[in-house]
Structure formats: C-alpha cells, structure tokens
Amino acid sequence: MELSRTRQIRSVQETDELSHSIVYDMVVMFILLHFLGFPGRLTSMFGEKIETLVDYGCFGLEILVMLISSGNTYMDVKLIDLKKQYIPVYLYTLYLMLNGIMMSSERSAAIITGLRLFTLVLFSMWLMDRYSVRYFLELVYRTQILILFFIIFTIGTGRGYTNYEGVRALTGIHGTKNSAAGELAFALLLQLTLLRMKMDDEETVSLTFLGTLGLNMVFLVLTKGTGALFCSAVPAVYILFIERKKIIARRLPLGFIYVLTSIGFLLFALTIIPMFEPVLEKLGKDATLTGRIPLWERIITITIDNKPLFGYGYERLWKEQVSVDLIHAGFASTSWFSKMTAGSHSVLIELLGSTGIAGLALYYMVTILCFQEVDGMNEKDYVYSSSFMLVYTLHGLTERGMSPTSYYTLFFFTALAVACKTEKKPRKSLRKAGRSE
C-alpha cells in the first residue's frame, strides 16, 4: 500500500515537472519568436500597439521565468542568481549600463536600455544553465517553423514582397529584404548546426526537419540577400565538413579570430580599398562599401576628437542629438548620410562611438577571455560556439550589433555562457629545475 502511494506521488511529481518544462519551453519559444522578428509587419493588421505589447511582454516573461525557476517555493526565489564563471560577462554588462547612464543626456532612457540589456544577459545565462545547446537549438528550430508560417501568411495576404531598386524581393514579416535575409540565413545556419549534432548522434532526420530546411532555403533565395547567405555559408561549411572531418586538427581560437578579423577588416577597408578606387570605379564597383567607409571615418573622427575614452554612451550614438548632428555635419546636405540614423553598419564602429576605446577594449578582452578554453569544450558546445561566432564575426564587419533587442546580442551572450561554463585546465606551475644534492 505504501509502495503504491509512493509511486503515485512520484508519478504526480514527474507529471508536474513535465508540465513545468513544457510551459518554460513555450515561453522561451515566444521570446525567441519576438527576437527573430515577430510581429514585424503584422503590426499593420493588429495595430502599432501590438509591437509594444509583445516587446514589453517578452521583457517581463524573461524576468518571470528566471524568478519562478529559481526555487521550488516563493521563499527560494532569487531575483538575481549570479555565478562565478560568468563574472567577466557581468562586469562588461555593468560597464555598458553605467556607460549609457553616465554619458547620456537622457538618463531615464539610458536606465531602461541598461535594464533591458542586463535582463537579456541574465536570460542568456539562464538558457544555457537550463538547456543543453542541442535542446536549445531544437527550440530555435521549432520557433523558426512559426516564423516560416507567418512568412507564408504574409505572402498569402499580399504583404510578403517589396520592390527594392527595381527588384521584387521577399520581406515576409520583416521590415526590409536585408533583415529578412539576415534572419533566414541565421536560422538556416542554426538548423544546419542542429543537423550536424543529429548526424553525430546517428539520429534519423525527419521529413519535417528536411522540409523546413528546404523551405528556409527557398525563402532565403527569394530575399535576394547574397551577403547574408555568404555569412552563413562559411560557418556551415566549417562545422559540416572541415571540423566534422577534422581537416583542421586543432580547434579555432574563436576569441582571437573574432578580434583580429574585425580589426583587420576595418584597417583594410580604411586604408587599402581607397587605394583601388579608380580601378573599382572603372569596373563599375563601389569603392566605399555602399557608403560605409566615409560613415566609419566620420564616426571615428567625432569620437576620437570629442569623447575618445567612453564614447557617447551605450546605445546612445544615434539617439544623442549632439552626436547625430556631428555625424550629419560631415556630409553634404544632399547626401542620404546627412539625414540617416540607421546605425554604423559595423559592430566595432558602433561600440567605439557608443562606449569609447575603454568599452571596445573591454569587449574584446571579455570575448578572448571567455573563449580561452575552446579545447576543453565538449563537441556539441564547440560546434554551437564556432558556428555562431563565425557568423557573428562576418555579420559584424558591415552590420551593427549589441543592441538589447537584437537576436545577435542574445545569441552572442549564450555563446559566451557556453564558453564560460567550460572547465578550466589546471595550469602547470613553473619551477626551476635544481640539481639534487
């Protein structure tokens, strides 16, 4: 009788845990759905308020799931559960928050942005503490199925396409063809990363999985986004062929590759490309990377001349009237750049202008520090980290990042969390070898 009762209690507990797990998964998927673009252009159907409602709703849900999952009773709930392995990430986040507040002329807006970032960072750590990278990618895959469904819906209702420079291109639920291409290419890469893990586990791949993969590819082609496709193709080739077949024996030093590539590309763009401008113009090619180079030069100039150490404040470069006016003043009044506020089109330049030399140096230091133990990662953690960091490296060369509302920021901190959890190898003490007497 007692044994039967024990089994019943255990069964109830397991059912309760499963229901909690499903609820958490659904909440995480909804938050991911918003980061990946929902509701986007669907706001035209439901009204502008739906965007704000979903945005702040997801912010609240991030806090709620972390609170509820932190203890079995309300007495066990922890508002903030800081962990030692994440200290470098916490310190960098704290710098960004204080930087935004101290350098901004609109303190209240900077505080809100800082809190959004802090919550996003904690949520990223929570995700990697709660889920394995493989299960997390399963959730991303399921979320992308919903994104594809909404894209089909926009096509069916006549909202899915736009004309861009005379070319008909797919936008789906996203605002522009480039943002649509970026999201589809990113989701495609993560699904290929999941495919790699399934192959390693010798798991049968379902027709639904392959169909989703194919549909994602078709929609990506329809966006005409070759740049986004290239950014995802490089890491896909690495994880599916080069790394899986161990063509390169050693693992990539992801932190150093990121830092050296971003700095090296910027130096190349500012010094080497302009030298070939006459040749490129004769070939009908743009020697300014569609205006990015003069924009980068202008932002570097106003930052170094006015606020070199701390910049204009985290996420404030394009919101402070002073910095915006200084950027616009560097271009003719007839130029599109004399009015644009769409960002720096470079993670490095954006961080330099927003957080200064100190913030940029700290950003690079934390990235290198977190990825110093790549050889100690298990295979799945390394596949995920290398897949993301390679696409993030390429994406950040010509696009902005580190916004608290960007899916790249969310996934960047999940990659840092995975890297920080890797056990550090014990250092060998160096001792002088003395003669035995």
The answer as to whether 429 is a domain residue is no
- One domain, residues 213 and 295: no
The answer as to whether 121 is a domain residue is yes
Separation of first and last alpha carbons in the chain: 74
Task: Say what the pLDDT of residue 71 is.
Answer: 67
pLDDT per residue over 59-73, tens digit each?
A: 999 999 999 887 665
In degrees and rounded to multiples of 5, residue 318 shows phi and psi of -100, 15
Please give the residue range of the domain that contains residue 411.
84-130+250-422
pLDDT per residue over 378-433, tens digit each?
A: 999 999 999 999 999 999 999 988 999 999 999 999 999 999 998 776 655 444 44
Instruction: Return the ∠ at Cα 356 (arms to 260 and 295), rounded to 5°.
Output: 75
* Helices first, then strands: H and E counts in the chain: 16, 2
Task: Say what the pLDDT of residue 417 is.
Answer: 97
- One domain, residues 267 and 416: yes
Domain boundary among 248, 273, 293: 248
Domain boundary among 248, 265, 289: 248
Residue 109 has pLDDT above 80, yes or no: yes
pTM above 0.75, yes or no: yes
Count of domains forming the chain: 3
- One domain, residues 239 and 353: no
- One domain, residues 272 and 417: yes
Residue 10 has pLDDT above 70, yes or no: no
- One domain, residues 290 and 142: no
Mean pLDDT, all residues of the chain: 90
Task: Say what the pLDDT of residue 47 is.
Answer: 80
- One domain, residues 219 and 291: no
Residue 12 has pLDDT above 50, yes or no: no
Q: Which helix (H) or strand (E) holds 163?
A: strand 161-164
Task: Say what the pLDDT of residue 394 is.
Answer: 97
- One domain, residues 91 and 60: no
Task: Say what the pLDDT of residue 77 is.
Answer: 63
- One domain, residues 37 and 94: no
The answer as to whether 310 is a domain residue is yes
ω before 253 within 30° of 0 (cis)? no
C-alpha count within 13 angstroms, C-beta hemisphere, residue 62: 28
Q: Which helix (H) or strand (E) holds 168?
A: strand 167-170
- One domain, residues 278 and 367: yes
Task: Say what the pLDDT of residue 44 is.
Answer: 82
Report residue 12 as tokens: 């109830």
Which of the 8 DSSP states describes residue 169? E
The answer as to whether 436 is a domain residue is no
The answer as to whether 1 is a domain residue is no
Of the candidates 203, 188, 182, 181, which has an alpha carbon nearest to the alpha carbon of residue 239?
188
- One domain, residues 228 and 257: no
Query: What's the mean pLDDT in 165-188?
Result: 93
